[in-house]
Structure 1
Amino acid sequence: MTAPVVRVLGPVEVRDPRGHRLDVKGPRHREVLARLVVARGRVVPVPVLVEDLWGAHPPRRAVGAVRTFVSDLRAALDPHLRSGGGARSIVTEGTGYAFRAATESVDAWRFAAAVGTADARRGRSAEDLRCALELWRGTPYADFPDAHWARGDRARLTELRLATVEQLAAALLAAGRPADAAADLDAHVTEHPWREEGWRLLALALYRCDRQGDALAVLRRAATLLAEELGIDPGPALGQLRTDILRRAPHLDPPGATPGDPPGATLPAQRIRAGAAAEWERSTTVSERATLVSTTALLRSLAVHGGQPGSAIAQHAATVAAAEDLGDPELTARILAAYDVPSVWSRADDPDASAAVAAAAERTLRLLPEGGRPPLRARLLTRIAVETRGLPGARGREAAAEAEALARGSADPALLVTALSGTFLQTFSRAGLAAERDAIGREIVGIADEHDLPTSAVLGRIIRMQALSGLGDLDGAAGHAEALAELGERLDRPLAGIFVAWFRAMRAVEDGAADAEDRYRRAADALAGAGMPGVETGLLAFALTCLRLRRGAPLAPLGDLGPYEPWVRPHLLLARRRHQEAEAAVGALPDPPPGHLQEALWWLAGRAALATGDARVAARAEAALAPAATELAGASSAMVSLGPVADLLRALRG
């Protein structure tokens, strides 16, 4: 292909045949080009272009400006005209202009042609369909979100893409690759839960992976969502599939299976034994890779829907290690990228597993050609940011910043949310960053609402509930808590309800409620066994200690303090009048690690320093807490609050 390529599946841009971006000047030039592409070869009169660009009140020289834009676009798209040959891509007809170019010259046209009609798609291979989907960079005409002329084509292309994802899954199933189909479909139905065909294909793929129970669970989840959100029953296809799964109907078996083969078999044992040695080696390799991909999809689903996240990350680390053993960086990258479980706590559940995953992501980035495609690179960098949360050093912040920049360039809303989650977890490097986290949460909620991303909505609401609590806006935080509780129940996210219960207990402390301690104990009961040791360990004893310190109640050991013990120990010693030991404990205090509770730990250090007369530790606490002067100590966790930081700062400075 010798002509430039116009790309509208994402931000509008023009690339030369070698892939270099061409300068088409300003946004108005790109808007004119996009408007002509939408017309698909039909003439767009100049008055229509003027109205589409400026609305009812165009500038006085709008017509001349349009003609200038077209002239500039022709110079960029048709450089061969300078030598006097060839037809123009943008032609003048009557009172308007039309974009006339080959199908290969526009990515949206190539995408539609590659997918073809529904009848043609049935004959397309999985590779053809995946290649077509790789043309997709994000929301069509992404830099013109409010343009009325783009809405119809954007909706058409988006629907075509969703149908193609499902056609790809069907092609993978037909090719005997159910694990690959399940991995793709899990994300598809999570982001687009009203597409019954996606649920049907996912359940069938799981069944063919010999996971009958998971297949039935998927169908139950689909029925619940449809009933609660739309007030409708599942269509006949889902109902029939459930019946067929329960009776293990033979027609559900994969292509090529013989009676007696397990549902997950992709090649009957008799044919394997009869095949050549090379075929045996090939099929074994494919099976191992498919198993790794399928395992990752299951672990992600368990973590997102309230399984055992703490154990899931350890199993995921083992899956990543197995993928690395195969020596295929692309496979390892896919497995690392697929486990995009939203994380909302700044301490890892399994530090060793997180360290192993972060190291694998670093190695994979180096092995991929030029670091991999930008979206894949962004996901790997996000994994590094997520798995290094709560650790000192700049690498996590650097990875988060690069991932966010790549995601913003892609115009893929789901990718941007993933990258922002990494940025959020790296905003605990110092005290006083609650406002920055609230801005991140606000952006995530906006993206989730605009693009119907329910999992992202849960993440954004938790972030805003925590950040607004830290900023002292407890009423605003309560509004997000109520929305989060409704989302958690509707979307079957039990972990959301746990965070809401802890927020309500903390709010009871701020309101002076007599039953605040009981609320904390009930919240801890719900947290126990939820698979979040990074959150659970030591939290109840720490929260009760802070409550009693806040109220001036008698202090005594209240259970396992976990990682918070060094900062509570001086206060326990002071309560027992062991002042010399308390002075030694204060003098030995380390800086609190980055995290949701660092302001609370600095508050404890500062108070103990005042009580023991340790001016050095008092100065450290004052310097650390100064940026958080307008916040509530510890409340950025939406779990614990020790009151206004400003009160302690006055005492430390006095």
Structure 2
Amino acid sequence: MDQVAFGVLGPVTAGRAGLPLALKGPRHRAVLARLLVARRRVVPVARLVADLWEEPPPAAVGAIRTFVGDLRRILEPDRPPRAPARLLVTDGPGYALRAETVDAWRFEQAVEAAAQEEPARAAHLLREALELWRGPAYAEFADERWCGGERARLAELRLRAVEQRAEALLAADRAAEAVPDLDAHLTGHPWREEAWRLLALALYRTGRQGDALAVLRRARATLAGRLGVDPGRALRRLEADVLAQDPGLDAPAARETGAARVWSRAAEAYDRNVAAGARVRLESTVGLLRTLAVTGSGGLAAAREHRLAAITAAEESGDPELTARVIGAYDVPAVWPRSDDETAARRIVRAAERALVLLPAAPAQDAARCRLLATVALETRGTRSGRAAAAAAEAERLARRLDDPALLAFALNGVFMQSCARTGLAPRRDAVGTELVALAARHGLVTYEVLGHLIRTQARAALADFTTADEHAAAADRLAERHELPLAGAFTAGYRALRLAATAGTAHGGGGAEAASREAGRLLDGPGMPGVRDGLLPLTLFCLRLAGRPYGIRDAVDPAADWGPYLPWLRPALALAADDEKAARDALRELPEPPADLVQEALWCIAAAVALQLGDRPALRRCLAALHPAAGQLAGAGSGFLTAGPVDVWLTAIGDALA
């Protein structure tokens, strides 16, 4: 069942799945509010009685129990009779509300998070946080002493958030946006000196020096008239600086030159001239997100978040053609067939499928249809979905018929993502990479040229052709440096660690390979690629110790490692390392097929190592069938990060054991 969401930033409310719950009379609401004020802590019954009545009636304790019983039926209507409550619980001498979703808590978390973000992102988070407020906190209990402290605390946090957002807007060189909110803020709270300072500074930065001075003088008169105090040092200093036109007051963009200044002015002009509700803003936003996604420093994570919001807004417009353009415009190259956010990917695929159904069946929409199909193929990566494979093939067919190089590059990326249906498909991926490099170089599609080189680096590594792989890794690095595409460096660093491990071996180069792998893992920490990062370094180090040693499983696995999404395929090895052969056999028997990604050969080798140790013939036959198509290749090297050694070594060991 969906969680109950509680609201206290205004009248006290409770709701589930967006629908309000019908709370009963004022005493029921008061009990609920009192428990919410306690923030999951226990409130004794005696305290509830004292807070709810100035002169408690004789039956007050019984009334409290009745109110709690009524609330439990409203909050947990499906709870079986006599089953213990999970939300409004009895604990010792009283009750506690084990709430998870409360708008006030979300507000506080957003304000805390904004303090760690860059200015534009902080301003966005704070705006969303302030929109949670529907009125004064605990509005109907303004006269109750038991919530006075909490109401005052939340009110102060809100006032500070308004000023914090204004600071963020000023830092982001969006001073004009800060003025209206600050003006309204000061109307109700004229004693806030920091708000006066921010308003005057915002006016000055928008070219309104006279208005800025007038605000500062009004602040002086207000503070003297209402509080009998002179302005503080910050306000006095600002007034002097405004009169002197101190360059230090200028907006960041005014102190910048070159590209930064052009960017700032163009963004301001766009904001002034394109209507806030214009649909073109959505398409422009997606274009910006495409660039943001390849910048590194968290840009990919931010682009992923805003992309979903843009798609939702497009669908809300009711225009399937606009929705198709917004979904299909995000043609950001992808090189790792595991999603960074599987929930978001599923939502995007559902939106793309809806748009495909609603899109007019006309040749003029074939390009949009191609982009939607490529999106389905890309976002359904690692799943062995028949629908995704068919979407990739249809997108490629349409793109070739339309003779659009950018469209074909996008479609080929979808084909690449669907080229991991089984082991041993490195030659197919190499062919895709070869076409991408040639196509992108011919038509100036730089990001896809980098993608093509990375694909060929991976594929040639899987085929143990390190000379060619080296050339493509170097080409990817040159392009990435010239065009400011830092994410590529994490993949080329991973490849060089893999190369060292594969060519030097653990006996001679193991230490160097491990250090190089750890450095590559460090490069994956910041760019917002959890689908690549999570569990990859432990798996890489495990494979480094296991490579070429089919009977070395016991001393290769690290029981304390965080295996992330790879844990289901490591359970047999972990059980074996713990000397629990029965658990290892059971886990091996229940082992699911690895995901359709670039490390599946390595995972099969790990399973084979456990099966060899246990002499489990059915498991060995399963591993043999899975690995046979990859004969002659390096297991897992198609990932560009790790290898469990030559597949042929594993096939020989399995064949000998079965014989």
Q: Structure 1 length as normaliser, TM-score?
A: 0.57
Supply the distance in 2 between the matched residues of 1:471 and 1:447 (Cα, whole angstroms).
23
Alpha-carbon offset, residue 424 of structure 1: 0.5
Alignment partner, residue 573 of structure 2: 571
Find the partner of 1:328 among 316, 319, 333: 319
Alignment partner, residue 343 of structure 2: 352
Instruction: For 1:138-157, list aligned pairs within 5 A.
Output: none
Instruction: For 1:367-516, list aligned pairs within 5 A.
Output: 367-370=358-361, 373-510=365-502, 511-512=504-505, 513=509, 514-516=511-513
Question: Is the counterpart of residue 318 in structure 1 residue 320 in structure 2?
Answer: no
Supply the distance in 2 between the matched residues of 1:318 and 1:438 (Cα, whole angstroms).
35
Alignment partner, residue 290 of structure 2: 300
Find the partner of 1:606 among 608, 620, 626: 608
Instruction: For 1:1-16, list aligned pairs within 5 A.
Output: none
Alignment partner, residue 524 of structure 1: 521
Alignment partner, residue 281 of structure 2: 291
> What SS does the corresponding residue of 2:273 show, helix, strand or coil?
coil
Shift in alpha-carbon separation, 1:577–1:403, aligned structure 2, 3 A: same
Moved more, 515-524 or 239-248: 239-248
> What SS does the corresponding residue of 1:265 show, helix, strand or coil?
helix
> What SS does the corresponding residue of 2:455 show, helix, strand or coil?
helix
Q: Contact 1:209–1:264 (CA<8 Å) still a contact in 2?
A: no
Supply the distance in 2 between the matched residues of 1:253 and 1:374 (Cα, whole angstroms).
35
> What SS does the corresponding residue of 2:271 show, helix, strand or coil?
coil
1:377 maps to a residue whose letter is: R
Q: Contact 1:207–1:245 (CA<8 Å) still a contact in 2?
A: no
Q: Contact 2:571–2:587 (CA<8 Å) still a contact in 1?
A: yes
Shift in alpha-carbon separation, 1:407–1:248, aligned structure 2, 3 A: closer
Moved more, 357-366 or 291-300: 291-300
Supply the distance in 2 between the matched residues of 1:246 and 1:408 (Cα, whole angstroms).
36
Alpha-carbon offset, residue 452 of structure 1: 2.3
How many residue pairs were aligned? 395
Q: Contact 2:461–2:638 (CA<8 Å) still a contact in 1?
A: yes
Alignment partner, residue 270 of structure 1: none
Alpha-carbon offset, residue 576 of structure 1: 3.3
Supply the distance in 1 between the matched residues of 2:365 and 2:352 (Cα, whole angstroms).
14
Q: Contact 1:570–1:583 (CA<8 Å) still a contact in 2?
A: yes
Q: Contact 2:173–2:264 (CA<8 Å) still a contact in 1?
A: no
Alpha-carbon offset, residue 549 of structure 1: 1.7
Instruction: For 1:581-592, list aligned pairs within 5 A.
Output: 581-592=583-594
2:464 maps to a residue whose letter is: G
Alignment partner, residue 264 of structure 1: 271
Q: Contact 2:294–2:486 (CA<8 Å) still a contact in 1?
A: no
Shift in alpha-carbon separation, 1:292–1:608, aligned structure 2, 3 A: same
For residues 129-156 of structure 1, the C-alpha deviation after alignment (integer angstroms, 9 at most, x for no partner) is: xxxxxxxxxxxxxxxxxxxxxxxxxxxx
Alpha-carbon offset, residue 612 of structure 1: 1.5
Alignment partner, residue 593 of structure 1: 595
> What SS does the corresponding residue of 1:522 show, helix, strand or coil?
helix
> What SS does the corresponding residue of 2:318 show, helix, strand or coil?
coil
Supply the distance in 2 between the matched residues of 1:308 and 1:462 (Cα, whole angstroms).
20
Supply the distance in 1 between the matched residues of 2:602 and 2:259 (Cα, whole angstroms).
51
Supply the distance in 2 between the matched residues of 1:415 and 1:247 (Cα, whole angstroms).
31
Shift in alpha-carbon separation, 1:618–1:308, aligned structure 2, 3 A: farther
Q: Contact 1:461–1:484 (CA<8 Å) still a contact in 2?
A: yes
Question: Is the counterpart of residue 540 in structure 1 residue 542 in structure 2?
Answer: no
Supply the distance in 1 between the matched residues of 2:380 and 2:295 (Cα, whole angstroms).
23
Shift in alpha-carbon separation, 1:521–1:328, aligned structure 2, 3 A: same
Q: Contact 2:542–2:556 (CA<8 Å) still a contact in 1?
A: no
Q: Contact 1:207–1:264 (CA<8 Å) still a contact in 2?
A: no
For residues 462-485 of structure 1, the C-alpha deviation after alignment (integer angstroms, 9 at most, x for no partner) is: 110011111111221111111111
> What SS does the corresponding residue of 1:264 show, helix, strand or coil?
helix
Task: Tell me which stretches of 4 or more aligned residues in structure 1 moved more than 4 Å.
Answer: 206-211, 239-249, 551-554
Alignment partner, residue 642 of structure 2: 640
Kindly, what percent of the aligned residue pairs are identical?
Answer: 46
For residues 625-644 of structure 1, the C-alpha deviation after alignment (integer angstroms, 9 at most, x for no partner) is: 11111211100001110111
RMSD: 2.6
2:544 maps to a residue whose letter is: L
Q: Contact 1:444–1:457 (CA<8 Å) still a contact in 2?
A: yes
Instruction: For 1:33-432, list aligned pairs within 5 A.
Output: 264-266=271-273, 285-286=277-278, 289-306=279-296, 307-370=298-361, 373-432=365-424
For residues 20-39 of structure 1, the C-alpha deviation after alignment (integer angstroms, 9 at most, x for no partner) is: xxxxxxxxxxxxxxxxxxxx
Shift in alpha-carbon separation, 1:578–1:437, aligned structure 2, 3 A: same
Supply the distance in 2 between the matched residues of 1:595 and 1:618 (Cα, whole angstroms).
21
Alignment partner, residue 630 of structure 2: 628
Name structure 1 gaps, 5 residues minimum: 1-205, 212-238, 255-262, 268-282
Shift in alpha-carbon separation, 1:401–1:242, aligned structure 2, 3 A: closer
Alpha-carbon offset, residue 242 of structure 1: 5.6
Shift in alpha-carbon separation, 1:208–1:528, aligned structure 2, 3 A: closer
Moved more, 526-535 or 370-379: 370-379
For residues 205-257 of structure 1, the C-alpha deviation after alignment (integer angstroms, 9 at most, x for no partner) is: x999999xxxxxxxxxxxxxxxxxxxxxxxxxxx99769759969xx975xxx
Q: Contact 2:458–2:640 (CA<8 Å) still a contact in 1?
A: yes
1:332 maps to a residue whose letter is: T
1:292 maps to a residue whose letter is: L
Q: Contact 1:314–1:350 (CA<8 Å) still a contact in 2?
A: no
Supply the distance in 2 between the matched residues of 1:611 and 1:248 (Cα, whole angstroms).
67
Supply the distance in 2 between the matched residues of 1:378 and 1:360 (Cα, whole angstroms).
15
Shift in alpha-carbon separation, 1:548–1:396, aligned structure 2, 3 A: same
Shift in alpha-carbon separation, 1:382–1:248, aligned structure 2, 3 A: closer
Supply the distance in 2 between the matched residues of 1:600 and 1:614 (Cα, whole angstroms).
19
Alpha-carbon offset, residue 376 of structure 1: 1.5
For residues 443-496 of structure 1, the C-alpha deviation after alignment (integer angstroms, 9 at most, x for no partner) is: 111112222221111010011001111111122111111111111111111111
For residues 258-285 of structure 1, the C-alpha deviation after alignment (integer angstroms, 9 at most, x for no partner) is: xxxxx72237xxxxxxxxxxxxxxx664
Supply the distance in 1 between the matched residues of 2:614 and 2:366 (Cα, whole angstroms).
54
1:440 maps to a residue whose letter is: V
Shift in alpha-carbon separation, 1:636–1:374, aligned structure 2, 3 A: same
